[in-house]
Each structure stands twice: as structure tokens, then as C-alpha cells.
Amino acid sequence: MISGDPQQDSQQKVALVIGAGDATGGAIAQRFAREGYIACVSRRSADKLEPLVSGIREAGGRAFGYASDARKEEDVVALIERIEAEHGPIEVMVFNIGANVPCSILEETARKYFKIWEMACFSAFLNAREVAKRMVARGRGTILFTGATASVRGSADFAAFSGAKHALRALAQSMARELGPRNVHVAHIIVDGAIDTDFIRTTFPERYALKEQDGILNPGHIAENYWYLHQQPRDAWTFELDLRPYMERW
């Protein structure tokens, strides 16, 4: 864990972001931290979380970074137990791990297909299950899953990614139907379009040029929608929300 204040925060609210990258996941953590939540963020390498954690703290928020392999059950169980013991109840969990690796079905390997499913779906099950146990016991909570275009449409050369994202959406649907009556809000967010990241800037410069026309997604604007979902009254909960630039085809 990236070190910080060792004081326990049993009365504080925690926002846990699994897969806190430099764009969407980081922006979501920052958004919740601005509202006074303790932002607990995880990815396989804790060193890569240092800029995000430091930035949140410099802005006056509280943040802690954890190295955790979301595909390993023992890692997930230990992570959730540690966060709840050291910082307080996880009020919202955001699953934001991506696994977008294109490949022709004629060349896809069993190993890579399975790994993509592990990353995009199985790890979501592990983390959501552990958090849901605690949320149900408390009678409240929010679980948010980041989906993609592939969640609803399988494209050529994306069989593995589409299969995993379809499965993630089904997991979210099933959890929403089971946990909603127990006051746990489960939602699935489809992010349909290029996001303002270094990867898009360097790999797809023509697409990135659309930023000046609001043609790619701003991570901060995506994060606003996650906060909105968490704040919804339960008589008007949203299960699925899709976000895309106005010029994106769908």
C-alpha cells in the first residue's frame, strides 16, 4: 500500500475504484474524493498509482493506493477486508478494469481469450461479491461496472473482448435484480467512444484531433456520471447509462 495517515477512519465513507488508471478510473477517484470520500484505488502495480494518490492529497482529499491482482480471490478478499478495517465502510465500488485486445478469431489463442475474460468479467465477480456481502449486511451501497461498446455489440476482431463485456453486463443485470430490493444500487455504464488519453493521442492522432470539437470523451465528464448514479434516489434508480460524444455513430 502507498503509505499515508495510519489513523483508522471507521466513520468515513470509502469509494473503492478497481482498475484506477490514468484516465477514467483516476477521474472517478478524484470526483468522489472531492465529495469527502476516502478514495481507495487499486491496480496490479502500486507504483503506478502514486501520481493519482499524490494528486488527490495535494487537492485536499484523502487517498490510498493498493497493489492487488483483481483476478486472484485471495488478493481480493484481503484487499476488501483491509480497506474496511483501516478506513471504514465501502459505500461505492467502481469496477473499471479494461481488456481491449483486438485479434482475429482465426488467430486468437485459448490462453489470451481466457485471460481477457478473467480481467474483464471474472475479476468483476470476485470484487463485486466481496463488496456486496458487506453492503447487504449494512443495507446500503452502490456498485458500478464500466462497460463498453462491446457490451452490447460484438465487432469483428473483438470476439474475446465482446464475450467478456457481454458477460460483465449479464453479471451486472443479475446483481441489480437480486440486490436492488436490498437497497444496493447496481449499475452498468457503457462508454462508447474514444477517451481523452495518451494512448488515443499517440495511436490515433486523427481521432484525437476531434477533441477540439468535443468529439472524444473527457474522463472528468465521465466521472460526473458515476457520481450522479451514486446519488440517485432509489425510487428512480438507473441500471444502464450509455455515454458517447454527440458525433459518435451507434
Q: What is the DSSP letter of 48?
A: G
Alpha carbon dihedral 51, 52, 58, 64, in 10-degree steps, equals -110
Query: CA 159 to CA 153: how far, in whole Å?
Result: 10
Amino acid code (one letter) for 114: F
CA dihedral 161, 190, 153, 171 (to 10 degrees): 70
Task: Check if the beta carbon of residue 141 is closer than 8 Å to that of residue 131.
Answer: yes
The cell 490514468 sits on which residue?
22
pLDDT computed for residue 3 by the predictor: 41
**How does pLDDT run along the chain (250 residues), one tens digit per residue?**
554 443 444 468 999 999 998 899 999 999 999 999 999 999 998 889 999 999 999 999 999 999 999 999 999 999 999 999 999 999 999 999 988 888 999 999 999 999 999 999 999 999 999 999 999 999 999 999 999 999 999 999 999 999 999 999 999 999 999 999 999 999 999 999 999 988 888 888 999 999 999 999 999 999 999 999 999 999 999 999 999 999 988 8
Per-residue pLDDT, 100: 85
**Burial of 137 by CB count in 10 Å (0-12 exposed, 13-18 middle, 19+ buried)?**
exposed
Closest by Cα among 147, 18, 42 to 95:
18
Which residue segments constitute the domains of the chain, with CATH numbers given?
A: 14-243 (3.40.50.720)
State how far the Cα of 201 lies from the Cα of 137, in Å rounded to an integer: 44
pLDDT of residue 41: 98
Rounded Cα distance between 206 and 19, Å, is 27
Helix/strand/coil for 90: strand
For residues 42 and 16, give the distance between their C-alpha atoms in angstroms, rounded to a whole number: 8
Given this model, what pLDDT does residue 2 score? 52
Minimal CA–CA distance to 38: which of 75, 76, 77, 10?
A: 10
Report pLDDT for 9.
Answer: 43
